[in-house]
Structures are given as C-alpha cells and as structure tokens.
C-alpha cells in the first residue's frame, strides 16, 4: 500500500515537474522575444531592452526557469506586467469565484448524472431509458458556451428571472449566488451528459450480479437497492470519469466566465492574453494544468479507497 | 442479403454527410459571397432571397454558415489527420520496439493528458498570437497521445499473433511487419478514434473561435458568429440559434458515427454497452 502510494506520489510530482517545463518552454523559449510580444512591434529597442532586464530575460534559460519555479514554490509568481501587482495577489482575488463555480458545477453534475444514470439503468430498455440516453447524447454535442447563450436568452432576456452576466461581488451573497446559477447550470448540464452514460452502464453491469438479486429478493425497496447496493459497487468507473470531468470543468470555467463576464481566473487569463501579460498567462496556465494533474492523481488514490480489492492487489 | 445498419451509424452518417456536403459545396458555391455586406438589408427575416435571414451587417446567414462548415471541417481534417498519423506511428514504434522506447513514448503520452486541448490551445495562442493555424497545431498535438495509446494497445495484440511470428521467422524487419501486417489490422480502432476526435476538434475550434483565439475576421466560423451574436442578444436573438445548431449537428453526427463504428468493430463492447 505505502509502496503504491509512494509510486503514485513520485509520478505525480514528476508529471508536475515536466508540465512546468513544457509551460515555461512554450511561453519563454519558443516564441522568440517575450519583450517584443509584450510591448508590440512598434516598441523601441531601448524599451524592449529595459523590459528584458526587468523581467530577467537576459539570464540563461535554465536560471530563469529555476527562479520561476523556485518563486512559485514560495507563492511568488512574479509581477503582473499589465496590472503591476503580484500575480499571486491577482489569483487569490479571483480564485474563490472560479472555485465556487467549479465546485458547484461538479456537485450539480454528480447529482444530475447519478439520478439520470441510475433512473435509466432501472428502466433499462424502456422509454425512460431511451429518453435519458437521447438527452445525454445531445448534451455531449452541445457546446457549453452555446448552451449558456440559450439559457441567457430564456432566463435573462425573455423571462428576466436571472441576471444575464456580471458578478456583484461577495458582499451580497444572494445576488452573488443568483449570478452563479446560469453559469453553474450551463457547466453541469453538458458535463452530466457524459457522466450519466457512464453511470448507467456501470450500474447495469452491477445489477446483473447475484448480490443485487439477493437484495431484491430479501425485499428491499428498488430505490434502496439502487442507491445502497448498486451505486457503491459501480463507483470505480464513475469516479474515473468524475476525475476527468473535474479537469474538463475547470477548463470549462475559462470559457463560461467569459460568456457571463465573471471576474474569475478564466477571465483573468483572457484579459492577460489581450494585454500580452505573459507572466500572468504563464502562471495561470501552470495553475490550470496543475489542477488537472492533481485531479488525475486524486482519482488514482480514490480507486484504492473505493475498492478494497485493489488495495489488496497493489499492496 | 444486407445487414441492417445500427440507427446511430445511419443518423450519424446522415448528419456528417449534411455538414460535409455543405462544407464541400461552400468551396464552389454559396448563395451569396459570405462576407458580402449589405447594410440596407441588415437583420432581414428569413425569406426566399435570404433563407435564414441576414446578420447585423446584412450578410447572408446561410452563406456564412456554409463557409464556416468548410472552415470547421478543414480544421478537423488537418488537425486530426496530423495527430492521427504522428500518434499512430509512435504507437506502432512503441509496440514494435518495446522496452525503453515504449516506456518513453507512453510516459510522454501520459503528459499529454495533463493539458486539456482547450488549455493547450490557449497557451499557444497567448505565446504565438491567435490564429486558425495555432488551433490546428494545438488540436493536432493533443491528439498525438490519444492515437499513440490506441494504436499501441491494438498493435501489441497483433504482435502476439502467429502470422507475425511467421513473418519474423521469415526474416521480415520490424518496420516491414509494422507496415504490412500490424498497420492494416489496427486500422479499425484508429478510424473509430479518429471519428470521435473529429467531434472533439469541431467543439474545440468553435470554443476557441468564440473566445477570439481561433478564426480571425473575416474568416467565417460558427464560434465567432456566436460571439458576435452574443452582443446582439436583445436585438436579434435568432442570430444565436443557427451557428449553435450547426455545431451540434456536426458534433452529434461524428459522435454517433464513432459510437456506431466502435460497436461494429468491437462486438464485445457493444454487448456490454447495450446490456
């Protein structure tokens, strides 16, 4: 067990390390002169030289990488060029919004998907099953940003129930929550389509087994059997996809925040790209990639927690 | 006797044919030039002259949607084509060589999964400036690990077959075996994967163009049309409908087709899935 864990942790750290090299390489080494990118073609050579000096671009690449990663490990992600404040401050300011969006989106995704998937499995082969599968097939094909626009058209433009976008700040929790409803639903509807399918097929696999028949024969209510006996045994594939989806959800927030003008990390990423603020972009891309890698790592660990058989095998 | 094709393949094929047909046709003919501005006729309702009406600059909607289909399909074909070719070659190499070559290729492909396509494309767009070619490169790159995995897994099975042992005994090189025996026999899973990745590519292109990181004006793109429509949501909500429908048609088509082809190429899986 501890050997398995140590191996996974080592793999996780190694992946993070290589990801940081890729991000750094793409942002620093390949595109030529970052000072030119930041200042634009009409900048003077002196201005570019001054900026290169300020950003430490004259130093060898390896040294710059070490300085960046060393700083990042201490929470120092450098100084944003366009906002002229530390990048870590910018991130800390916007993280709560993105995190709330991702977590509420994930919670709604899981709730919707488990209900839809288990309902479809329980009605296997009947109309309800077909309807749910059809819906989820459609959900997979609908881009989240378009769904967002349709939701805005219906609930903000036509019915005027919810705001079309923007964020009033956390000072007014009700207004803040209201402005997160449509983005959360847009994120979750699309993601739950995939998860519902996985839940359905995993549940069907389990439902054929003897202990489920026994539980039914013992006289447990169908709903009880479904949620207490079938679901726990169908969790391994479901958790795999949840892990992958959390990654999808986090990158999904990048798009959704831009649709709804929410001042989170995704919006910051775009502002930074527009402002050619490479230092902020680099920090944010690394942060998003790190979240994805961490989610994958946690899924690996979660297997062992969920399935005691794997624990025995891998010990 | 003709075997009955599963419904998902039929529907998928029809939808794909629709989008591909519009894409090919747009290369030679659209009702109007897609960028032709006619401000006097802006926000025209659907009519015999403009089947779906016009946008805020009086541009014909059908012509734009058709040209955008061409754009979208080109991106998908080129990007998935590159990713599929490079990935499959790497997968074949990994299976043929084994040992540390396989280990390195597979560990590198693990890395690909740390970057969702969208994030990777955003990073490239930030570093090199937004353009459609950046989108193609990003999607191609992200596809390489996927195809390397699929082809390696399939190729490893073929390498254990007796006809491969026979070919080896007859003195064929690993390269020749990979080319003549392994590649033709792993084509099915690779083609299935490509169909599915087509759907993903169309979605990613649309999202990036929507965000302003893909197709640049005046190049037509469903994603960019939606971005423009968003600013006019109160004025002309109909503009936000059609480009989205096109994206869904294309993605649904390739998705259904891929699912159906997978069921056919791997009947065991089909039984499991429908069970």
When CB atoms are compared, the residue of B127, B211, B240 closest to A31 is B127
Contact A292 B240 (CB under 8 A): no
- Domain residue limits, chain A: 2-73, 87-313
**Number of residues that this document lists for chain B:** 275
Distance CA B113, CA A9 (A): 17
When CB atoms are compared, the residue of B114, B237, B244 closest to A19 is B114
Distance CA A60, CA A28 (A): 11
The b/e string for B110-146 (b: 16+ C-beta within 10 A; e otherwise) is bbbbbbbbbbbbbbbbbbbebbbebbbbbbbbbbbbb
- Is residue A291 within 8 Å of A247, Cβ to Cβ? yes
Q: In this predicted structure, what is the pLDDT of residue B275?
A: 43
Beta-carbon contacts of A246 under 8 Å, excluding residues fewer than 6 positions away, are A102, A106, A295
Q: Across the strands, what pairs with B60?
A: B54
Q: In this predicted structure, what is the pLDDT of residue A95?
A: 92
Distance CA A176, CA B158 (A): 57
Distance CA B173, CA A20 (A): 39
Beta-carbon contacts of A20 under 8 Å, excluding residues fewer than 6 positions away, are A69, A72, A286
For Cα atoms B221, B226, B232, give the angle at the middle one, nearest 5 degrees. Answer: 135
pLDDT of B228-251, one tens digit each?
Answer: 888 888 888 888 899 999 999 999
Q: Within an 8 Å CB–CB cutoff, is residue B36 touching chain A?
A: no
ipTM topping 0.95: no
Beta-carbon contacts of A104 under 8 Å, excluding residues fewer than 6 positions away, are A180, A184
Residue of B nearest to A271 (CA): B126
pLDDT along chain A (315 residues), means of 10: 80 89 81 69 80 76 87 86 87 92 93 92 86 87 92 90 88 90 93 89 87 86 86 84 83 90 92 84 91 86 74 55
Measured in angstroms, the CA of B121 and the nearest CA of chain A are apart by: 11
Instruction: Check whether the bond before B218 is cis (ω within 30° of 0).
Output: yes
Distance CA A287, CA A133 (A): 35
How far, CA to CA in Å, does A37 sit from each of A80, A115, A274?
15, 49, 11
Measured in angstroms, the CA of A157 and the nearest CA of chain B are apart by: 7
Contact B275 A254 (CB under 8 A): no
> Cα A236 vs. chain centroid, distance in angstroms?
20
Pick from A313, A310, A285, A288: which is nearest to A300 by CA? A310
- DSSP summary character for residue B170: T
Measured in angstroms, the CA of B196 and the nearest CA of chain A are apart by: 11
Distance CA B255, CA B200 (A): 9
Quick one: residue B130, left, alpha or beta (phi over 0 = left, psi -120 to 50 = alpha)?
A: beta
Measured in angstroms, the CA of A315 and the nearest CA of chain B are apart by: 23
Distance CA A284, CA B241 (A): 33
Chain A contact set for B114 (CB, 8 A): 15, 19, 289, 292-293, 296
- DSSP summary character for residue A60: -
Q: Within an 8 Å CB–CB cutoff, is residue B246 touching chain A?
A: no
Q: Which residue has the tokens 């790592």?
A: A297
Q: In this predicted structure, what is the pLDDT of residue A315?
A: 45
- Is residue A236 within 8 Å of A154, Cβ to Cβ? no
Measured in angstroms, the CA of A289 and the nearest CA of chain B are apart by: 6
Q: Which of A139, A146, A299 to mutate: most B Cβ within 10 Å? A: A146
When CB atoms are compared, the residue of B114, B118, B251 closest to A15 is B114
pLDDT of B134-175, one tens digit each?
Answer: 899 999 998 999 999 999 989 998 998 899 999 999 999 989
Distance CA A104, CA A183 (A): 10
Distance CA A65, CA A79 (A): 15
Compute the 3-state secondary structure of chain B and give helix, strand, coil in percent, each to the nearest 5. 75, 0, 25
Residue A293 token pair: 């890698």
Residue of A nearest to B203 (CA): A143
Distance CA B266, CA B190 (A): 12
- Give the SS3 label for residue B60: strand
pLDDT along chain B (275 residues), means of 10: 72 93 87 80 78 80 89 94 96 91 86 80 84 90 91 90 91 90 90 90 91 84 90 83 92 89 70 49
Chain B contact set for A204 (CB, 8 A): 275
Q: In this predicted structure, what is the pLDDT of residue A179?
A: 92
Measured in angstroms, the CA of A252 and the nearest CA of chain B are apart by: 9
Contact B207 A145 (CB under 8 A): yes
Contact B229 A149 (CB under 8 A): yes
**B79 CB-contact burial (10 Å; exposed 0-12 / middle 13-18 / buried 19+):** buried
**Number of residues that this document lists for chain A:** 315
When CB atoms are compared, the residue of B123, B206, B229 closest to A26 is B123
Quick one: residue A92, left, alpha or beta (phi over 0 = left, psi -120 to 50 = alpha)?
A: alpha
Asked whether the CA dihedral B59, B65, B70, B74 is positive or negative, the reply is positive
Contact A164 B233 (CB under 8 A): yes
Is A87-313 CATH 3.90.1580.10? Answer: no
Residue of B nearest to A249 (CA): B116
> Cα B5 vs. chain centroid, distance in angstroms?
23
Pick from A253, A82, A248: which is nearest to A183 by CA? A253
Q: Which structural domains are found in chain B, ordered by start?
A: 8-19+52-274 (1.10.3720.10)
- Is residue B68 within 8 Å of B222, Cβ to Cβ? yes
Pick from B260, B155, B140, B135: which is nearest to B205 by CA? B135
Distance CA B113, CA A249 (A): 15
CB pairs < 8 Å spanning A and B: 118
């Amino acid at each position: 067990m501890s050997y398995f864990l140590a191996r996974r942790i080592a793999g996780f750290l190694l992946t993070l390390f290589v990801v940081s090299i890729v991000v750094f390489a793409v942002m620093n080494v390949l595109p030529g002169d970052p000072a030119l990118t930041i200042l634009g073609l009409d900048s003077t050579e002196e201005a570019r030289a001054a900026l290169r000096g300020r950003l430490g671009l004259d130093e060898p690449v390896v040294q710059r990488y070490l300085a960046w990663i060393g700083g990042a490990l201490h929470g120092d992600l450098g100084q944003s060029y366009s906002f002229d404040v530390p990048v870590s401050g910018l991130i800390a300011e916007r993280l709560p919004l993105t995190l709330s969006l991702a977590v509420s989106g994930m919670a709604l995704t899981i709730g919707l998907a488990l209900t839809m998937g288990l309902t479809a499995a329980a009605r296997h082969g009947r109309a309800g099953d077909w309807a749910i599968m059809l819906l989820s097939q459609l959900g997979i094909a609908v881009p989240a940003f378009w769904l967002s626009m349709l939701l805005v058209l219906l609930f903000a433009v036509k019915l005027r129930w919810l705001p079309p976008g923007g964020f009033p700040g956390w000072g007014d929790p009700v207004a803040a929550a209201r402005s997160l409803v449509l983005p959360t639903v847009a994120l979750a509807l699309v993601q739950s389509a995939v998860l519902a399918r996985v839940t359905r097929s995993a549940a069907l696999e389990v439902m054929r087994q003897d202990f489920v028949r026994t539980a039914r024969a013992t006289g447990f209510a169908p709903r009880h059997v479904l949620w207490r006996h079938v679901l726990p045994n169908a969790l391994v594939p479901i958790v795999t996809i949840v892990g992958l989806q959390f990654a999808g959800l986090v990158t999904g927030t990048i798009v959704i925040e831009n649709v709804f003008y929410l001042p989170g990390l995704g919006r910051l990423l775009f502002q930074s790209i527009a402002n050619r603020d490479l230092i902020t972009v680099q920090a944010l891309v690394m942060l998003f990639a790190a979240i994805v890698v961490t989610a994958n790592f946690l899924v690996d660990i979660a297997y062992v927690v969920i399935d005691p058989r794997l624990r025995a095998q891998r010990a | 006797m003709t075997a009955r094709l599963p419904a998902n393949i039929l529907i998928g094929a029809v939808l794909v044919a629709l989008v591909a047909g519009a894409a090919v046709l747009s290369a030679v003919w659209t009702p109007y030039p897609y960028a032709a501005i006619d401000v006097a006729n802006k926000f025209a309702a659907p009519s015999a002259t403009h089947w779906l009406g016009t946008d805020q600059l009086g541009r014909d909607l059908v012509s734009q949607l058709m040209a955008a289909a061409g754009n979208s399909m080109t991106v998908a074909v080129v990007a998935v084509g590159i990713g599929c070719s490079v990935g499959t070659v790497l997968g074949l190499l990994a299976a043929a060589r084994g040992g540390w070559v396989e280990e390195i290729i597979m560990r590198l492909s693990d890395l690909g999964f740390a970057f969702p396509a969208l994030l990777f494309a955003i990073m490239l767009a930030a570093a090199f400036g937004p353009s459609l070619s950046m989108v193609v490169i990003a999607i191609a790159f992200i596809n390489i690990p996927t195809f390397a995995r699929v082809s390696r897994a399939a190729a490893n099975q073929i390498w254990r077959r007796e006809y491969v042992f026979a070919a080896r005994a007859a003195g064929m090189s690993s390269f020749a075996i990979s080319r003549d025996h392994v590649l033709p026999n792993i084509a099915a899973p690779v083609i299935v994967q490509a169909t599915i990745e087509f759907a993903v590519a169309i979605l990613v292109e649309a999202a990036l163009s929507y965000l302003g990181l893909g197709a640049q004006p005046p190049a037509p793109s469903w994603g960019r049309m939606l971005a423009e429509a968003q600013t006019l949501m109160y004025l002309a909500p109909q503009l936000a409908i059609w480009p989205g429908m096109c994206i869904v048609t294309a993605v649904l088509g390739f998705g259904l087709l891929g699912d159906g082809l997978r069921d056919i190429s791997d009947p065991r899986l089909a039984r499991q899935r429908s069970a």
